[in-house]
Each structure stands twice: as C-alpha cells, then as structure tokens.
C-alpha cells in the first residue's frame, strides 16, 4: 500500500466515512434510472440520501453543499483543502473573465488566487489577445503545477496526480488528433509531471491506431488506449475513453478505503460523492433531452 499521511487525528472521521461509503449508489441504481421515466426517479431513489419531495436538481445542489461543508469541517490539512478548492476557483475565474452567466459560478473563495503573479500574467495576456483557448489551457496548467506541489504531502497523492496527469494527456492526445495542427495543440495542453514523456505523444499523433497500441502495450494504460481508441474510431465518440479514464482514477482512490488513519479516505470519499452527484445530474439531464440510453450507460463508471 502507498504511504499515506498516517495522521491519527482522522481516526474518528474515517469511521464516519466508512458508513457513508456504504451508501454510495451502485451502478445498478444508475441502470434503473436510465431505463425508467423521470417521473419514477423519486421512487427508485427512495432509500437513498436523494429521497425528498423536492426537484432532483435542487436536491443534488443541497447534497453537494452538505458534502462540501463536511469535507471542510473535517479536513485538517490546508494543502488538501486547496487541492479541492483550486479547480472550482479557477473555473470561477474563467467564467468571470469570459463574462459568463453568474449561475455557473461555484460557491468557493480562494483569496490569493487572483493576486498570484502567474495568474495576473495569464489574465493580462487574455485581456490583450482575447484568446479563450490559451486562457483555459494556461489556467489548467497553473492548477496542475499547484496540485503537483501540494501533492508532495504524501506518496499517495504524488502517485494519484501522476495518474491524473497521464490520463489528462491521453485525453488530450486523442482530441488533438482530430485537428490538422494536432502537434501545436497538444504541445499547448500537455501536462508535465506524469510518467509519459511529451515526445511519445507528439511522435504518434498522426500514426494509425495499431501503431499507437504498440506504443502503449505493456503500460497500465493499454486497455484505455485500445478500448477508448477503438470506440472513438468506430463510433466517433469519446464516451468510452472518458469513462475508462474516470474508472482508473476512481479505482486508485478506492485504495484509500484500506487506510485507518490519514486524510486520504476523506479526500477519496469526497471525490466519489461528487462523482455520484455529477452522474445523477448527467442522467437526469440526459433523460430530459432524450439522450439514447446506451450513451448514458456508456458514460457510467463501474467502480464503487
């Protein structure tokens, strides 16, 4: 098992988390929801934390806020709090700079963010050139640099973020292949600190899938590249690639359930719970907009 923080102050909350993990929704719940009409959602979710008389989207918003409060109350490491808050704070910055709808803003604050010299430089460049793609990629890379610094708190977190960066680069690799200027795009979005060098990706951007599979053979990402790449090639969809990437991240986080002490179980539970809420929103909106059932099912990770 990877070395964690092993902080005994978390013994109490980790006991609470074990009980909460037992209530996470299994894939069978999502399959039932996808096969049902929206009017039946309340009955299907009747024995879950989402069983109230309110509209489901309102319930999800409330549960999400409760889970955030739970995390903030019991997380005793400022580094881990920052890991969690930073993506949402950066999202807020993107929304405001692009004059987006205020309803898209997350309810988080990170006072130091907009006074950071790196962030001020990114904002200045955006104001001058109005290039939304560069704005998004530079803010995302800023987040990854900060996350990598914060992850050094324990081996568990450094390994998680190596995996996270590798998966993001694999996603970017397949997306960049859809464009003529694929090399330029990929170099712009590539995230260092993972285990796969930029050169490997760039050299294979324009290769056929068989060649790409040979490159990734005998790596832990072989099945993602093969299954996700084949699905993209035959169906023209990134759904399977996205699902497999999410499954690998969740499978890693699942290891934290074997830790008695440390912040790792709290960090992992929080990710599982937010993923559950995201998927419930996705299924609900998919049913509203008549997204085919097979597409909704394809997007549900099978890790609990």
Give the pLDDT of residue 250: 97
Give the pLDDT of residue 70: 97
Helix, strand, coil percentages (3-state) for the chain, rounded to 5, are 70, 0, 30
Residues in the chain: 304
For residues 275 and 137, membership in a common domain is answered with no
Q: State the pLDDT confidence band at 277, using cuts at 50, 70 and 90.
A: very high
Please give the Cα distance from 248 to 222 (Å, whole number): 12
The boundaries of the domain holding residue 38 are 8-76+154-298
Main-chain phi, psi angles of 181, to 5 degrees: -90, 50
For residues 280 and 188, membership in a common domain is answered with yes
Residue 24 predicted with pLDDT over 80: yes
Residue 103 predicted with pLDDT over 90: no
Give the pLDDT of residue 109: 85
Lowest mean pLDDT among 106-115, 136-145, 157-166, 206-215: 106-115
Number of domains, the chain: 2
Please give the Cα distance from 81 to 219 (Å, whole number): 32
Q: Which residue has the higher pLDDT, 147 or 47?
A: 147
Number of neighbours of residue 107 by Cβ within 10 angstroms: 10
Q: Which residue has the higher pLDDT, 221 or 2?
A: 221
| Structural domain contains residue 239 | yes
* The last residue of a domain, from among 151, 172, 205: 151
Residue 98 predicted with pLDDT over 80: yes
For residues 158 and 86, membership in a common domain is answered with no
Residue 285 predicted with pLDDT over 90: yes
End-to-end CA distance of the chain: 19
Q: Is 105 helix (H, G, I), strand (E, B) or coil?
A: coil
Residue 53 predicted with pLDDT over 80: no
Question: What average pLDDT does the chain have?
Answer: 95
For residues 44 and 137, membership in a common domain is answered with no
* The last residue of a domain, from among 106, 127, 151: 151
* The last residue of a domain, from among 134, 151, 168: 151
For residues 186 and 65, membership in a common domain is answered with yes
Q: Is the dihedral of CA 182, 184, 189, 191 positive or negative?
A: positive
Give the pLDDT of residue 49: 87
Give the pLDDT of residue 124: 95
Q: State the pLDDT confidence band at 102, using cuts at 50, 70 and 90.
A: confident
Q: What pTM did the predictor assign?
A: 0.94
For residues 49 and 175, membership in a common domain is answered with yes
Q: State the pLDDT confidence band at 87, using cuts at 50, 70 and 90.
A: very high
For residues 132 and 194, membership in a common domain is answered with no
Please give the Cα distance from 190 to 166 (Å, whole number): 9
| Structural domain contains residue 304 | no
> In this structure, what token pair is assigned to residue 109?
């604050």
Residue 54 predicted with pLDDT over 90: no
| Structural domain contains residue 183 | yes
CA 24 from chain centre, in angstroms, equals 17
Q: Is 3 helix (H, G, I), strand (E, B) or coil?
A: coil
Q: Which residue has the tokens 């092993």?
A: 6
């Amino acid at each position: 098992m990877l070395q964690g923080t092993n902080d005994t102050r978390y013994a109490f909350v980790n006991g609470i988390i074990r009980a909460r993990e037992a209530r996470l929704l299994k894939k069978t719940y999502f399959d039932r929801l996808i096969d049902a009409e929206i009017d039946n959602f309340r009955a299907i979710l009747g024995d879950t934390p989402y069983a109230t008389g309110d509209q489901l989207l309102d319930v999800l918003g409330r549960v999400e806020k409760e889970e955030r409060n739970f995390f903030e109350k019991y997380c005793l490491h400022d580094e881990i709090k920052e890991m969690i808050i930073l993506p949402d704070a950066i999202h807020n910055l993107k929304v405001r700079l692009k004059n987006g709808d205020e309803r898209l803003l997350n309810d988080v604050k990170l006072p130091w963010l907009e006074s950071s010299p790196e962030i001020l430089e990114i904002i200045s460049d955006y104001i001058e050139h109005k290039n939304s793609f560069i704005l998004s990629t530079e803010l995302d890379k800023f987040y990854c640099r900060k996350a990598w610094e914060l992850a050094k708190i324990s081996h568990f977190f450094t390994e998680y973020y190596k995996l996270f960066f590798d998966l993001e680069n694999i996603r970017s690799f397949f997306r960049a292949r859809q464009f003529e200027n694929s090399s330029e795009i990929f170099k712009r979005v590539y995230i260092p600190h993972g285990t796969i060098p930029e050169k490997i990706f760039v050299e294979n951007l324009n290769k056929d899938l068989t060649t790409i599979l040979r490159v990734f053979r005998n790596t832990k990402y072989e099945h993602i590249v093969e299954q996700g790449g084949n699905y993209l090639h035959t169906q023209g969809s990134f759904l399977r690639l996205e699902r497999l990437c999410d499954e690998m991240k969740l499978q890693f986080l699942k290891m934290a359930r074997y830790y008695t002490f440390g912040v790792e179980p709290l960090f992992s539970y929080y990710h599982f719970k937010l993923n559950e809420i995201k998927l419930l929103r996705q299924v609900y909106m998919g049913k509203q907009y008549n997204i085919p059932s097979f597409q909704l099912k394809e997007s549900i990770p099978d890790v609990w």
